[in-house]
Amino acid sequence: MQLYGGWHMKKLLHIIATPRGEESNTLRISEAFLDVFRTKHPDWAVEELNLANEALPSLTIKRVDGKYELLAGKDLHGELKEAWQEIVAHIQRFLSADAYLISTPMWNFSIPYTLKKYIDIIIQPKYLFRYTQTGVEGLVNGRKMAVIASRGGEYISQEARKIDFQEPYLRAIFGFVGITDMTFIVAQPMGMGLEIQEQKIEEAQKLAKKIAEVF
Ligand SMILES: Cc1cc2nc3c(=O)[nH]c(=O)nc-3n(C[C@H](O)[C@H](O)[C@H](O)COP(=O)(O)O)c2cc1C
């Protein structure tokens, strides 16, 4: 949340997981979403987190040790705390948002590794979830997330859905930290000829605009 003339300016964090920039199928749909979103919410800031341009910290042995300390309910000190500075900065940036938009292609039936790496960095005990006597409790409650996805193939039949590890995974991991209000806009198939691709992108853009109206 940004302070703006004494007001809290709300923030939509747009997490981009395709490296294809202007060539991206997914981002054509996200742009349609954002056009409407910006018009509807002139009081919101839209911040872009392009994972292709981020030097995301790797989970080294020290950083993993830090995670286990936190899982054990301890705080970080000394070199572990230092090793965690970059992780904490990413967590704070994530938590500074009031709502999320993820733009992601399907890669190998799942999400691109940059997005998986980002998830492995930010989903941390004490910050995004905690253990209580009754079980796990997500700490990112009450925030909406829209996911715009595109796929070369089509994952609609019962058989094909079995190998879609993109939507179920994103629902599971963000649900785990308390983000349960999730909307998916999926363009598929992108790899069955240009005509179908254009038609499916246009359909997804229409749906994205509709969802952005009420997001
Ligand atoms: C590394 C890589 C892996 C991919 N794996 C799949 C896949 O498992 N299933 C699928 O349907 N499409 C797959 N695709 C195709 C993309 O999902 C599809 O082209 C998508 O529209 C790309 O989105 P973008 O243009 O926003 O990057 C893959 C593409 C790449 C580059």
Instruction: Name the CATH superfamily, with its identifier, for domain 2-214.
Output: Flavodoxin domain (3.40.50.360)
Q: Is 107 in the pocket of ligand 1 (CB under 6 A)?
A: yes
pLDDT at 8: 74
pLDDT at 185: 98
pLDDT at 2: 53
3-class SS at 135? strand
Pocket test residue of 22, 107, 185 for ligand 1, highest count of atoms within 8 A of CB:
107
Among candidate residues 142, 154, 137, 143, the one with its CA nearest the CA of residue 191: 154
Q: Is 19 in the pocket of ligand 1 (CB under 6 A)?
A: no
**If you take atom 1 of ligand 1, which residue's CA is the nearest one?**
107
Of ligand 1's listed atoms, the one at least distance from the Cα of 110 is 8
Ordered by start, the domain boundaries in the chain are 2-214
Point out the residues of the chain with pLDDT beneath 70.
Answer: 1-7
Pocket test residue of 28, 108, 194 for ligand 1, highest count of atoms within 8 A of CB:
108
Please say whether the beta carbons of 20 and 27 come within 8 A: yes
Among candidate residues 145, 133, 215, the one with its CA nearest the CA of residue 173: 145
